Amino acid sequence: MKSHKDQDAEGIKLIASNKRAGFDYFIIEKLETGIVLQGSELKPCREGRVNLKDGFAVVEKGELWLHEVHIGANPFANRLDHSALRKRKLLAHARQINKLAMKIQTGGNTIVPLRMYFKNGRVKVEIALVKGKRQYDKRDTIAKKDLKRDMEQEMSGKKYG
């Protein structure tokens, strides 16, 4: 039985998110995809033992593959356990994959996973077409975040110091 705390109104339960993606990249376009998992990978997903930090997606022979995403080991899977960093197939329509492939080839962009979550009992991965930020862009992002935080503190009257 699931509690209302675990899921939001749309039936989504977050497994993992890639918080660095917004800092390291300009997000151009997002896409929700399915993912092909082995049976032993489901338990670590339910427990949240997933790391998307170094992950990226590649289009190979008209299929979308997710690389370098770490899904922890399942201690109950014995010899049928999965490799933690194996590449996993992402499920999307052919026209969506072709559209992403064209944008990667022409613009010097890449695809990174943003979030992995359960949606109506199925594991979904939100991927994004991104362009890398330069060092000065990252400093600009930090400055804007600090300014916003300072303004919110002053508006609430909780600024100390």
Q: Give the span between the Cα atoms of 34 and 37, in whole angstroms.
A: 10
Distances (CA, A) of 66 to 35, 58, 62: 9, 7, 13
CATH architecture of 12-133: Beta Barrel (2.40)
Name the residue type at position 104.
I
**Tens-digit pLDDT profile for the chain (161 aa)?**
444 455 665 678 888 888 888 888 888 899 999 988 877 788 888 888 888 888 889 998 989 999 988 888 777 766 666 666 788 899 999 999 999 888 888 877 889 999 999 888 888 999 999 888 777 777 888 888 889 888 888 888 765 55
Identify the pLDDT of residue 1: 41
Q: Give the span between the Cα atoms of 19 and 116, in whole angstroms.
A: 12
Q: Six-digit token pair at 147? A: 């300014």
Distances (CA, A) of 126 to 17, 20, 40, 53: 9, 14, 22, 13
For the chain, domain boundaries: 12-133
Q: Give the span between the Cα atoms of 59 and 61, in whole angstroms.
A: 7
CB 69 within 8 A of CB 37: no
Could you tell me which residues are beta bridge partners of residue 117?
14, 124
